[in-house]
Amino acid sequence: MMEEEKIAPYRAGRWLPSDQKHLDNWLKDLIVEVDNTPKELHPVVEELKELIESDAKIYMNFKAMFEQVPEKYKKNPAGKPQIRNYLHALRLINGIMTKAPEFNLTGLVGFPINAIFDWSMATPAGFTAFLDDRLNQQLKKVLNEWGRFLKSKDSAYVLNDHPRNGWFGADARKAMPDFDTEFKCDPLAPHHGFTSWDDFFTREFREGMRPIANPDDDAVIVNACESAPYRLSHNVELYNDFWIKGQPYSLSHMLNNDPYMYLFAGGTVYQAFLSALSYHRWHSPVSGTVKKAYVIDGTYYSETPAEGFDPSGPNESQGYITEVATRALIFIEADNPDIGLMCFMPVGMAEVSTCEITVYEGQHVEKGEEIGMFHFGGSTHCLIFQPNVQLDFDLHCQTPGLNAINIPINSKIATVMK
């Protein structure tokens, strides 16, 4: 079977359905709804249309990216055409601006815009288009506008008890059986007390649910996110061809050429991804002082061409997107000199692109203390250490990869050796 014909039997983190047919059918239903009930374009979607049509390079790529999709990907399982051109894609994006992701046993469609561009963004024209800075600035405006809806009370309609697609329905309760005892909520209040989709997705654990491993031992490093191990790399180079097969890390690009980058050349990178059903706040992996903390604007739908036509969207490109996607950098000078300066880097993935930092430069943080969060779910993140730091990792008997499962936040993931 050729590379582009592979259909992944899973979606890491359950952001997209495990069954490709379910994703295709979701898209088919959206197409039917949008085609049968046309609406005026939302102002930010209209702005995106104007940008595409006014910029010759973007226009050329958006025309070509749909034409370059192989014929076998242009129809859904029922044999009906999928997305025909950029105008059709824009109408579909317009159709989800007032929708919040519903629960589904096979995995929610948490990346609806990603699903709309699923095949076209893997074409040569799509790869070029989604690296364009002007396009990404406009996509940021679209996503911010959608984010405002997800923070509004109107988005709470999915937090109902519908047995199949409600977040407090029977299917969801089977997937999250301990929700009421694990998370801060009021089971007797409407929507368990959550006021919006974003309020639900940035929920907090109840006190004592995620104890901090060895709180008095600065040699123990804890998991910064409720996340599954994706990759552990040593001797990471400052410059590398991060877009090729294997997606090697390139520190200068990951760290956006920050002057601190030279300290990490030859160091260690640990990467892990978050689940759609899980916890989406970040905690400090060490006790120390925040030296720098800022967000880097980047791409939203760029994936490496080395993975071919990847139905898993950005999941197969998690190494690659650490260099190009929207992300934050939080540099912490650990109290333990055997760790020294380290970096926590949350990375936005497709729609999950808002990185909110809640600490400030000069602030001292304790191990396990909250330092920020993703909005609209979670994504992927890295811990970056200097080359002289000798680490003994504890990945809880797992091999890093897309089939790994969550390690609880604040659990031990490494010990620094003297």
Task: Give the tens place of pLDDT for each residue, 137-156.
Answer: 999 999 999 999 999 999 99
Residue 4: the pLDDT is 35
Question: What is the model's pLDDT at position 276?
Answer: 76
**Which of 299-313, 337-351, 401-415 has the least mean pLDDT?**
299-313
Instruction: Give the mean model confidence (pLDDT) for residues 279-291.
Output: 96
Q: Which of 72-86, 147-161, 224-238 has the lowest mean pLDDT?
A: 72-86
Residue 130 has pLDDT above 60, yes or no: yes
Q: What is the pLDDT of residue 102?
A: 83
Higher pLDDT, 358 or 165: 358
Whole-prediction pTM: 0.88
pLDDT band with cut points at 50, 70 and 90 for residue 62: very high
Res. 406: pLDDT tops 50: yes
Q: What is the pLDDT of residues 363-403, one digit of tens each?
A: 999 999 999 999 875 588 999 999 999 999 999 999 998 88
Dist CA 41 CA 233 (whole Å): 45
At 119 the pLDDT is 80
In the chain, domain spans: 3-150, 220-417
Across 99-103, average pLDDT: 86
Is residue 178's pLDDT more than 70? yes
Residue bearing the bigger pLDDT, 350 or 267:
267
Q: How confident is the model at residue 30 (pLDDT cuts 50, 70, 90)?
A: confident
pLDDT band at 356 (very low <50, low <70, confident <90, very high): very high
For 6-28, what is each residue's pLDDT tens digit? 434 344 545 555 556 666 677 78
- Highest mean pLDDT, choosing among 3-7, 265-269, 318-322: 265-269
User: What CATH topology corresponds to 220-417?
Assistant: Glucose Permease (Domain IIA) (2.70.70)
What integer best gives the mean pLDDT of the chain?
87
Query: Please, which pLDDT band fits residue 222 given cuts at 50, 70 and 90?
Result: very high
